[in-house]
Structure 1
Amino acid sequence: MTPSLNTPSLDRLNQHEDAVLDGILLEVCSSPTWARLVRLARPYPAPEALLAANAAAMDALSEADLRQAMAGHARIGKPKQGDATSQREQSGVSGADRALLDELAQANAAYEARFGHVFLICATGRTAGTMLAALRERQDNDPAKELEIVRGELRKINDIRLTRLLEEDA
C-alpha cells in the first residue's frame, strides 16, 4: 500500500516500503545499519517510539557503523554548501569572525589527526565559540571515551532530525 500525502506522518513512515523508508532514514543518519535497525523497529505507535528506536539503534552500532554515520556530517565550521540541514544545524558559525573560524579549522585538523574522524557535536543552538571550547575539551579524551561521546551526540542529532522530519511531513 502506498501512503497518501494526507496520512499523518508517523503513519506514513509505518507504511512505506522498506527501501523507501531506508532512503528517508539514510537522510537522517548515513549508517545503513542504523537505518535498518530503526526500520525493523516499526511500527512506531507514537513519536517517542521512533526516538526510542533511534536510541536502541545507536546503542547497537559498531565502531565501523559509527564511522559511517560520522562520514555523513560536515566538519564543524564548514557546513555543506547547498545542504539546508547542515547549514541549519551549524547556523551558530554564521557570522563568526575569521579568526574564530581559523581557530576552529585548526582545532578540527588536530582532532581529526588524533581520532581519524570529524569532530562531531550536536551543533544545534551552539555558537562557534562554544563548539570550539567543546572541541578543545574533548581533544584529550582517549579514543574509546570519545567514541561513546560521539555516539551520544549522533543520537541527539538524529532525535532532532527525526522530530523535524515528523513536523515537516505533517
Structure 2
Amino acid sequence: MTPTHFPGRVAAIPALPEQTRTPPSPKGLEEFNTAPSDEARRLLLTCLRSLSWSHRVAAHRPYPDLDSLLAASDEAAYDLSPADLSEALAGEAWPALPDETYAAAHTALSAAHAAYEARFGHSFVIYVGDAPPGEYLDRILEGIRSRLANDPEEERVVAAEELRRHARGRLVQRLGGAAGPNAPAAGA
C-alpha cells in the first residue's frame, strides 16, 4: 500500500500509548546531550517547528534521563508565545494515508480542513497516538468537526496542547524509543 500525501496542513502523528512505549536508549539521549548545539536544535525542530522551543530545550542539556527531557520540552511548549505557536502550527503537515483511504475521505477532509483554516487562520493539528491505525481518519475528522465549535482563543490553547503531545511523541521516536510500524512523523 503506497502512502498518499494530501495537500493542506493537518497533522496527526500516531504513536504508541505512553504505557506501552519503550524508552529511548541511554545512547540516544547521551548522543543528544553531547551533540553540537546546532545539531541538537535541528533534531528538536523535527519534533516541534519552533525556533524558541528548540533553542530553549537544547540550551538546558544535558538531561539526566528521558523524563527530565520531556518535562523540559513540556515546559518550553507551555511557554510558547502566540508568534511561536503560529510558527509551530505553520510547520505541521498532512500525514501520509493509504491510497484506498484517499478516495473515500478526500472530500470530507478537504472541506473540514478548509472550514477550520478559514475559522482559525492556522493549521489543524491533532495527536492520534492513542488510537488504533484504522481509526486515525475518524479521529481527525471528528476532531476537526468538534473543534470548529471552539472560539479562536480556546482553539489556540487546544492546538498548543496537541503540539506539545506531538513534541513528546516525536522526541521519544527520534531518540530511539519504540515508534511502532504505524507511526510516521507528520511534518518531518
Deviations 1:7-30 (A, max 9, x none): 811111111111111111111111
User: What is the match of residue 113 of structure 2?
Assistant: 108
AA partner of residue 98 (structure 1): A
Deviations 1:130-157 (A, max 9, x none): 2101111000111111111011101111
Q: Distance in 2 between matches of 1:101 and 1:123?
A: 19
Deviations 1:108-166 (A, max 9, x none): 00000010011111133442122101111000111111111011101111111000111
Q: Secondary structure of 2:163's partner?
A: helix
Give the one of 57, 75, 85 matched to 1:38.
57
Q: Structure 1: which 5+ runs fail to align? A: 1-6, 80-86
Give the one of 126, 148, 151 matched to 1:139.
148
TM-score by length of 1: 0.80
Deviations 1:56-93 (A, max 9, x none): 01111011101111111114xxx3xxxxxxx3xxx5x6
Q: Distance in 1 between matches of 2:114 and 2:102?
A: 19
User: What is the match of residue 161 of structure 1?
Assistant: 170
4+ residue stretches of structure 1 with deviation over 6 A?
none
User: What is the match of residue 118 of structure 1?
Assistant: 123
CA shift, 1:96, in A, is: 2.2
Pairwise mapping of residues 88-107 of structure 1 onto structure 2 (< 5 A)? 91=97, 95-96=100-101, 98-107=103-112
CA shift, 1:168, in A, is: 5.9
Number of positions where the alignment pairs a residue of Structure 1 with one of Structure 2: 149
Q: Which has the higher helix share?
A: 1
1:26 maps to 2:45: yes
- The 8 Å contact of residues 101 and 128 in structure 1, kept in 2 or not, is answered as no
Give the one of 141, 150, 156 matched to 2:159.
150
Highest relative contact order (Cα 8 Å, sep 6+), 1 or 2?
2
CA shift, 1:98, in A, is: 2.5
- The 8 Å contact of residues 125 and 163 in structure 2, kept in 1 or not, is answered as yes
User: What is the match of residue 56 of structure 1?
Assistant: 75
- The 8 Å contact of residues 128 and 139 in structure 2, kept in 1 or not, is answered as no
CA shift, 1:97, in A, is: 5.5
CA shift, 1:50, in A, is: 1.0
TM-score by length of 2: 0.73
Q: Secondary structure of 2:176's partner?
A: helix
Task: Give the aligned CA root-mean-square deviation in angstroms.
Answer: 1.9
